[in-house]
Chain A
Amino acid sequence: MGAFLLRRLATAIPTLLLIATLAFMLLHLTPGGPFDSDKVLVPQIQHAIEARYHLDEPLWRQYLRYLGELAHGDFGPSFQYRNTSVNELIAQGLPVDAAIGGVAMLIAILCGGGAGLVAATRPGGWRDRLPMGMAMLGISIPVFVTAPLLILVFAMRLHWLPSGDWVAGSWRHLLLPALALALPHTAYIARIVRAAAIEALAQPYIRTAIAKGLPTHVIVLRHALRPTLVPLVSFLGPALAGVLTGSIVVEQVFGLPGIGRLFVTGALNRDYTVVTGITVLYGALIIGFNLLVDLCYAWLDPRVRARA
């Protein structure tokens, strides 16, 4: 297991390097720069700014400088937010997304997983059709529709929850955005779990378990749950990396200071370091969560453990 981890970490470094390089090059290839504007600046000021951010240097030198900083875990200074480093920006934005994303995924796993399991025990019955119909809706209605609807009902009509804004540590501010983000994931998870559970319950070893006279809940929880979790876990890895780095729509609708918005404004403003930094962070999270997924496989399935 230790050797397996080391091997995976060793392959993660060149992968991240490649991501950083691609992001860096693509951004610098894009027309325009961080300090281009309609206002024509005095050439001396323009030069002074470019010199300060090393934009006057040849690209390969900027690239090497950036990699050097990156190696120390430094994403560099933001070009747009004066005197603020990308590390600071991420440190401000990430907890917002992590809180909302974490709660959203928790809701999605509990509700989606439960609905999927219930649906799988009686395929074709109303306990299957009702949740699966709702899941279909959850997948097809985009978040930019459900999020304003949630605000309309729970904030404007019922006045139960605030319509947006972010107050650190306030669960009331967290609930609506988390719910909006949870809906499509709940739907996906319900469908994945249903399909996986139906397949697991059709296995001959389930018939063995029934023939032993075990009650249904023992059969589902002890015999069918683990094989059901395998496809769920492989979905959750990238999905978690996705929600943790923020949902642009949810952040925009609820006015949250997350890194999703940071990323979009960064891209529009050619804030090179912000965009590259968030891209590398997302890549690192994907790699990290996929590693976690593989560890989960090994934990779930003894045959995988034997191979590792």
Chain B
Amino acid sequence: MTEPSAPLLQLRALSVDYARAGRELRAVNAVDLDLHAGECLGIVGESGSGKTQLLLALLGLNGAPARISGSIRYHGTELVDASAAQLGSIRGRRIALVSQDPMSALNPYLRIATQLTEGARRQLRLGRRAAWARAAELLALVQIDAPAERMRCYPHELSGGMRQRVTIAMALMSGPEVLLLDEPTTALDVTVQAQVLAVLRTVRERTGVATLMVTHDLGALAAMAGRVAVMYAGRLVELAGAQQLYGMPRHPYTAGLLRSLPRLDRPLPTRLPAIGGQPPDLADLPAGCAFSPRCPLAFGACAAPPALRPLSPGHLLACHYEGAPAAVAAAWR
């Protein structure tokens, strides 16, 4: 994979901390990550792995109790501790967000047209008509029939899949360079999921928008992402090109996640295998590798936290295991 020299987004040692009921917990733990122009980078992990918190940190949306530290650079501009005015000029205009639940992400009191156009009218200084025209165009792009009619609707008058496509169109209104997708298909029916994924692929083809997609669904990512980052307990544990990652995962956790996916090219097991145990309590992490208590390959060295190290160009891994790559996948059988 050829990568242009300057990434659009550059995350360095990014951490998100919360103090809840007197307990400190680190939702995102010193993550380094680059997003390049036009690429689609997937982030996978279980609930509580910090993937959504990482996404929200990019726009400063974590909420008041969260403390963000480290560095997020967008075209070299620092976004951590940026002023409200600075963030306001980035949000929606440069970096846009699509939320997980389209039921609650749209304001039930306002017409679709108002919600679609309000950002662009302000940020692109579009007139009413121009904003309407752009909204109708984008609704057509996300395959919504009769856009003009739909725009007069309120959110409750649309189906779940339609609402999610509206939020995708809404995110594109101001022509952002980066699209953040927070579990865009999780809250949807399976058939609708496929439809929304198809729309997202079309959107990326047409607009070339760089995409950061957070999900726990490796299957959904396979069709979208060029590179995939795997998060566990707030840390990045593996990062690789999608083919590499799906074909030969090197982190036991990645291998476990992949094994729990149903495969079309293999006989279906009577029961889908799962990774045993629970995700760790972020306020009380194991001393060494956070995954070691659930890891079939854990050994003595795992008592110390593993550093993220390059395996080959474009492939990063945070695991002490240095045996044969095939043994990682085999360990789960």
The yes or no verdict on A and B being binding partners is yes
Q: How many residues of B contact A (CB 8 A)?
A: 33
**Are B119 and A302 closer than 8 Å at their CB atoms?**
no
Residue of A204, A210, A301 near B109 (CB, 8 A) is A301
Enumerate chain A residues within 8 angstroms of B309, measured Cβ to Cβ. Answer: none
Enumerate chain A residues within 8 angstroms of B49, measured Cβ to Cβ. Answer: none
Is the C-beta of B202 less than 8 angstroms from some C-beta in chain A?
no
Within the complex, the shortest CB–CB distance from A181 to chain B, in Å, comes to 32
Enumerate chain B residues within 8 angstroms of A211, measured Cβ to Cβ. Answer: 59, 61, 91-92, 96-97, 99
Residue of B107, B154, B174 near A208 (CB, 8 A) is B107
**Are A208 and B109 closer than 8 Å at their CB atoms?**
no
Is the C-beta of B28 less than 8 angstroms from some C-beta in chain A?
no
Q: Known: A226-B109, A301-B109, A302-B156. Contact between A214 and B99, CB under 8 A?
A: no
**Are B167 and A208 closer than 8 Å at their CB atoms?**
yes
Enumerate chain A residues within 8 angstroms of B170, measured Cβ to Cβ. Answer: 208, 212
**Are A205 and B91 closer than 8 Å at their CB atoms?**
no
Enumerate chain A residues within 8 angstroms of B122, measured Cβ to Cβ. Answer: 213-214, 218
**Are B106 and A208 closer than 8 Å at their CB atoms?**
yes
Task: Please provide the chain A residues from 234 to 251 with a CB less than 8 Å away from any CB of chain B in the complex.
Answer: none
Task: Please provide the chain B residues from 108 to 122 with a CB less than 8 Å away from any CB of chain A in the complex.
Answer: 108-110, 114-115, 118-119, 122
**Are A210 and B61 closer than 8 Å at their CB atoms?**
yes
Within the complex, the shortest CB–CB distance from A166 to chain B, in Å, comes to 43
Residue of A204, A226, A302 near B99 (CB, 8 A) is A204
Is the C-beta of B90 less than 8 angstroms from some C-beta in chain A?
yes
**Are B167 and A223 closer than 8 Å at their CB atoms?**
no
**In the bound complex, how far is the Cα of B105 from the Cα of A205, in angstroms?**
4
Is the C-beta of B89 less than 8 angstroms from some C-beta in chain A?
yes
**Are A223 and B110 closer than 8 Å at their CB atoms?**
yes
Within the complex, the shortest CB–CB distance from B201 to chain A, in Å, comes to 22
Q: Which of B59, B109, B157 has the most CB of A within 10 A?
A: B109
Contact code string A203-237 (vs B, CB < 8 Å = 1, else 0):
11101111111111010001100110000000000
Contact code string B62-90 (vs A, CB < 8 Å = 1, else 0):
00000000000000000000001001111
Closest residue to B180 on the A side, CB-wise? A211
Q: Which of B88, B89, B96 has the most CB of A within 10 A?
A: B88
Within the complex, the shortest CB–CB distance from B179 to chain A, in Å, comes to 11
**Are A208 and B99 closer than 8 Å at their CB atoms?**
yes
**In the bound complex, how far is the Cα of B266 from the Cα of A13, in angstroms?**
73
Enumerate chain B residues within 8 angstroms of A302, measured Cβ to Cβ. Answer: 108-109, 154, 156
Enumerate chain A residues within 8 angstroms of B106, measured Cβ to Cβ. Answer: 205, 208
Enumerate chain B residues within 8 angstroms of A301, measured Cβ to Cβ. Answer: 108-109
Q: Known: A210-B61, A211-B97, A214-B119. Contact between A223 and B107, CB under 8 A?
A: yes
Is the C-beta of B101 less than 8 angstroms from some C-beta in chain A?
yes
Is the C-beta of A303 less than 8 angstroms from some C-beta in chain B?
yes
Contact code string B103-142 (vs A, CB < 8 Å = 1, else 0):
0111111100011001100110000000000000000000
**In the bound complex, how far is the Cα of B59 from the Cα of A205, in angstroms?**
15
Closest residue to A211 on the B side, CB-wise? B97
Is the C-beta of B93 less than 8 angstroms from some C-beta in chain A?
yes
Enumerate chain A residues within 8 angstroms of B88, measured Cβ to Cβ. Answer: 213-215
Enumerate chain B residues within 8 angstroms of A226, measured Cβ to Cβ. Answer: 109
B residues apposed to A, CB below 8 Å: 59, 61, 84, 87-93, 96-97, 99, 101, 104-110, 114-115, 118-119, 122-123, 154, 156-157, 167, 170, 174
Q: Which 9 A/B pairs are nearest by Cβ-Cβ distance?
A: A213-B91, A213-B92, A212-B119, A204-B104, A212-B92, A211-B97, A205-B107, A302-B154, A226-B109
A residues apposed to B, CB below 8 Å: 203-205, 207-216, 218, 222-223, 226-227, 300-303, 306
Supply 17 further A-B pairs (C-beta < 8 A) apart from A204-B99, A211-B99: A205-B106, A205-B108, A207-B61, A207-B105, A208-B105, A208-B115, A212-B118, A213-B87, A213-B89, A214-B92, A218-B118, A222-B118, A226-B109, A227-B109, A302-B108, A302-B156, A306-B157
- 9 A-B pairs within 8 Å (CB atoms) are namely A203-B104, A205-B104, A207-B61, A208-B106, A210-B61, A210-B91, A211-B61, A303-B154, A306-B156
